[in-house]
Amino acid sequence: MTKFEKFKQHVKDHPAPYMAASFAGGCVATYFIGQRIDISNVVAPVFNNAPTFINENAVNMAGPAVKITQRLSDGHIFGSAKEAAMEIAANHNVAFETARTLLSKNTNGFISDVYGEAYKTIALGTIA
């Protein structure tokens, strides 16, 4: 029996250490390959129409996330999409869920207006 055949038999008899070593080697190789790849231009934005802002002030961004929404006809800014949907529901005598769905479709570009008014998401924020 040659040395290579002995080694093959040894690997068959004791597979765990060799599998662990090959897994660790694959992890190390993946780490070093990943260090050389820049994925910053691959990451997709979370919201389609929301611009990205870099806030250089120290702000405690705590609380639930909101979409700050603007009505385009008069420039009125709502503190959240919920506030805009509540106003739409009240002014047009529709259910809040209906108004919220229509507003979402408008700000994401699926419909052109909500009862004759157009809206857009101008920023993302949090409720303190």
Decide if 106 is inside a domain: yes
122 and 73, same domain (yes or no)? yes
Decide if 105 is inside a domain: yes
Helices 81-92 and 96-107, interaxial angle, to 10°? 120
Contacts of 100 (CB under 8 A, 6+ apart): 81, 82, 85
Residue 16: strand, helix, or coil: helix
* Position with higher pLDDT, 7 vs 106: 106
Instruction: Record the tokens describing residue 127, joined without a space.
Output: 């409720």
How many structural domains does the chain have?
Answer: 2
Residue 117 — very low, low, confident or very high, per pLDDT cuts 50/70/90? very high
**CATH code at position 73:** 1.10.10
Note the pLDDT of residue 49: 55
Decide if 18 is inside a domain: yes
**What's the average model confidence in pLDDT over 83-93?**
95
pLDDT(126) > 90: no
**What's the average model confidence in pLDDT over 95-100?**
96
Whether 59 and 124 have beta carbons less than 8 Å apart is answered as no
Residue 43: strand, helix, or coil: coil
Decide if 47 is inside a domain: no
73 and 114, same domain (yes or no)? yes
Note the pLDDT of residue 36: 65
31 and 70, same domain (yes or no)? no
Decide if 60 is inside a domain: no
Q: Round to whole Å and give the CA distance between 45 and 61.
A: 18
Q: What is the dihedral of CA 95, 96, 100, 106, to 10 degrees?
A: 50
Strands 77-78 vs 119-126: parallel, antiparallel or unpaired: unpaired
pLDDT in tens, 4-43: 888 888 888 888 888 888 888 888 777 777 666 655 555 4
Q: Where are the beta strands (DSSP E) in 6-100?
A: 65-71, 77-78
pLDDT(103) > 90: yes
pLDDT(101) > 80: yes
pLDDT in tens, 41-82: 554 555 555 555 555 544 556 678 888 899 999 999 998 999
Decide if 86 is inside a domain: yes
Residue 9: strand, helix, or coil: helix
Decide if 28 is inside a domain: yes
Which residue segment(s) compose the domain that 69 sits in?
65-126
pLDDT(90) > 60: yes
81 and 120, same domain (yes or no)? yes
Decide if 53 is inside a domain: no
| Chain-centroid distance, C-alpha 19 | 36
